[in-house]
Amino acid sequence: MTLLRRPWRIRLTLSALLTLAALLDLAVIILLLAYDSGLLIRFGPVNLRIRDMFRVLVVGVVIHAALLVSCWPIVFWRRLTMAMAASLLLCALLVTARHTPPVWSVADEANIELYTMNATHGEQLLGGYSQFGWHHPGPLMFYALAPFYLAGGQGAGAIHAGAVATNIVSLIAIAWIFSRRVRSGSSLSEPVALAILLGIFLVRERGILASAWNPHIAVFPFLALLILSASVAAGDFVILPLAALFASFVAQAHIGLAPVSGAVVAGAVTGAALVARGDGEQRRWLLRWINISAWVLAAAWLLPISEEIAYSPGNMTQIWRFFTSSQIGQPLGIALPAFADTLVGVFRPGFRVATGWRFIASSNVLPLFVAIAEIPLLWLAARSGRRSRERFRCALASLCLLASSVALVSMTRIYGEIVDHEIFWVCGLGLVNAAVIAGFLAPVQRLPVRRDAWRARVMTMTCLLLVASGVGLGFIELRDVELRTQMGRDEAAAQHLTDRISTDMGRLGIATPIIRTDGDAWSVAAGVVLNLRKKGIRVSVSPDLVGLFDRQLLPNGEEDAEITICGSTVHQHLVDRSNNLFIGHYEAIFADAVKLPH
């Protein structure tokens, strides 16, 4: 017995020593984050100064890898290692953010950073702006980015690090549910298929993991929402509050995802109710988690509801009036090809990440045939899961059918031309559809294998590879952002005009200016407003810009000057004013001021 126990004693001792080393490494990293000048450690007469954060991170990665190998059979140590690895990942993101060179954000990036900065003060009530005058439903995305913004140096790099963290959390949620469902007897084929397709998507669509733009940052949380909701519909009621939180994040980040998120959660609750039907104990258990989920939803939507009550008309009222008006909509002949192209977009040669340009449907009719063919295949997969009592397959296939139907209907309500960022999220739905169909058609599920150990090992390796791929590619994208130091015209103009305005305000006797702009210079103006506020200068914006900057920046009557950032055409009109104060220009972008009477 002693000989049998000795290997376990060695394993436990090694795990304990590696755990201690990992904790010490993590403590050093936290101290280095707190003291940018470095860390001085004294061992008697020996002084050890640590300045290179990345070397400490590499040591931590090696220690955690060794610990994971040594302690894997021990459940307690495996979970502790996972928790410490998550802490190390968080520290690595913050380190990378702090080492990113200063970036002068303009346009949408400036607005995202401005909204996140407002969230750090608890002032952001709405989501990102829309070109149609209203805002996306809620600010949950900015409050999720706010801790990274504060701890990561309050720059654009911290925003990108927060986006990577958000997407990695979504991948972890997907991997966790897959592992949870496979261990309870669900089919292995769908998780493996989706993991492979997600890997292809990550490699092909570089730049999405580190992007905080709401059409990008909502995609992976939406995929996680689908998987979480399918688990709830399969009888895993405890997941419902997490699904409600992901649904709130997705719907608030992008209005295009609000209908499908609500439909998916409603479908999950319906499926859960069918599972609990006829069982009093399960019904009580379901009602308990529905009650908890309702409180989660109330907390997640508190700020948008407060804004709706405080202002007239509120943002939700504006959204409702816009989408229920008779002037908007797409004919089915336009919406259906766009839906089909995006649904199978990841598999098309010409597909690319959304950039905000007009969507042009391909002339190839194959995507349309594939999209139509998915409907009966998803129905057959759901039917197969119901007959074989594989609830997760049945639930996931049913929710994919529901989400695809709602997505198509949503596309018929798009106003004007279809822009790629409005429908980009559908490519994520297409991945899950393809995974469900591939899992249903895969011959591996019919092979006579010994399931328990084999399935557990395959699922574990699949989940680890999926999360590791997301982490690795996320850091590669962060490094790409760090290397992107060359400024374009708008960035250089924002830097130059911010410096001139902040310098000349004292000379001109300006304390609290109102910022105005025209269509030629709005992206530069966004960068100027952001960076003036980062310098601690109180600025407001003209009422016609409230759709871009939110109500927090409306004038309050204390402003003493008006600064206009504009192109050359408007500048020629402004210089004719007798009281015009010319501040400066960068190429064709000008800044003019005028004092306001009190």
Would you give per-residue pLDDT tens digits along the chain (598 residues)?
444 455 666 667 777 777 777 777 777 777 666 665 555 555 555 445 555 566 666 777 777 777 777 766 666 767 777 777 777 777 777 777 777 777 777 777 888 888 898 888 888 888 888 877 788 888 999 999 988 888 777 777 788 888 888 998 998 898 888 877 776 666 667 777 787 888 778 777 777 888 888 888 889 999 999 999 998 988 888 899 999 999 999 999 988 899 999 999 999 999 888 888 877 788 888 889 899 999 999 999 999 888 888 887 888 888 888 887 766 677 777 888 888 888 887 777 767 777 777 777 777 778 788 888 888 888 888 888 788 777 888 888 899 999 999 988 888 888 777 887 888 888 888 888 888 888 777 655 544 444 555 666 677 777 778 888 888 888 787 777 766 655 677 788 888 888 888 887 877 777 888 888 887 788 888 888 888 888 888 888 888 777 777 777 777 777 788 888 888 888 888 887 878 888 888 888 888 888 877 6
Question: Are 267 and 372 found together in one domain?
Answer: yes
Which domain covers residue 169, as residue numbers? 136-483
Q: Of 483, 512, 546, which residue constitutes the final position of a domain? A: 483
Q: Indicate the number of domains in the chain.
A: 3
Cα→Cα distances 434→265, 381, 382, 391, Å:
21, 11, 14, 18
Q: Of 444, 468, 483, which residue constitutes the final position of a domain? A: 483
Q: Determine phi and psi for 535, rounding to 5 degrees.
A: -80, 0
Cα→Cα distances 261→250, 295, 403, Å:
7, 18, 8
Question: Are 144 and 287 found together in one domain?
Answer: yes
pLDDT at 186: 67
Q: How many CA atoms lie within 13 A of 278 on its CB side?
A: 2
On whether residue 129 sits in a domain, the answer given is no
Question: Are 153 and 10 found together in one domain?
Answer: no
Which amino acid, one-letter code, is at 306? S
Give CA–CA dist 4/519, Å, rounded: 77
In the beta sheet, which residues pair with residue 540? 514
pLDDT at 487: 66
On whether residue 119 sits in a domain, the answer given is no
Residue 470 contacts residue 171 (beta carbons within 8 Å): yes
Closest CA to 397 of 165, 172, 568, 227: 227
pLDDT at 32: 65
Question: Are 447 and 550 found together in one domain?
Answer: no
How many CB atoms are located within 10 Å of the residue 351 CB?
17
- Output the CA angle 159-162-167, nearest 5 degrees: 130
Q: DSSP readout, 513-580?
A: EEEEE-TTTHHHHHHHHHHHHHTT---EE-GGGHHHH-GGGS--S---EEEEEE-HHHHHHHTTSTT-
Question: Are 308 and 412 found together in one domain?
Answer: yes
Instruction: Scan for tokens 């610990």, then name that residue.
Output: 67
The two tokens of residue 516 are 């105005």
Closest CA to 410 of 251, 214, 246: 251
How many CB atoms are located within 10 Å of the residue 318 CB?
18
> How many residues can be counted in the chain?
598
On whether residue 125 sits in a domain, the answer given is no
Question: Are 468 and 500 found together in one domain?
Answer: no
On whether residue 525 sits in a domain, the answer given is yes
> Which residues of 291-387 form beta strands (DSSP E)?
none
Residue 393 contacts residue 186 (beta carbons within 8 Å): yes
Q: Of 98, 118, 151, which residue constitutes the final position of a domain? A: 98
Question: Are 457 and 500 found together in one domain?
Answer: no
Biggest alpha carbon–alpha carbon distance for the chain: 99
In the beta sheet, which residues pair with residue 47? 42
How many CB atoms are located within 10 Å of the residue 68 CB?
18
Question: Are 190 and 319 found together in one domain?
Answer: yes
On whether residue 568 sits in a domain, the answer given is yes
The two tokens of residue 414 are 């798009």
Question: Are 284 and 181 found together in one domain?
Answer: yes
Question: Are 359 and 250 found together in one domain?
Answer: yes
On whether residue 527 sits in a domain, the answer given is yes
On whether residue 521 sits in a domain, the answer given is yes
Question: Are 450 and 506 found together in one domain?
Answer: no
Question: Are 479 and 495 found together in one domain?
Answer: no
On whether residue 317 sits in a domain, the answer given is yes
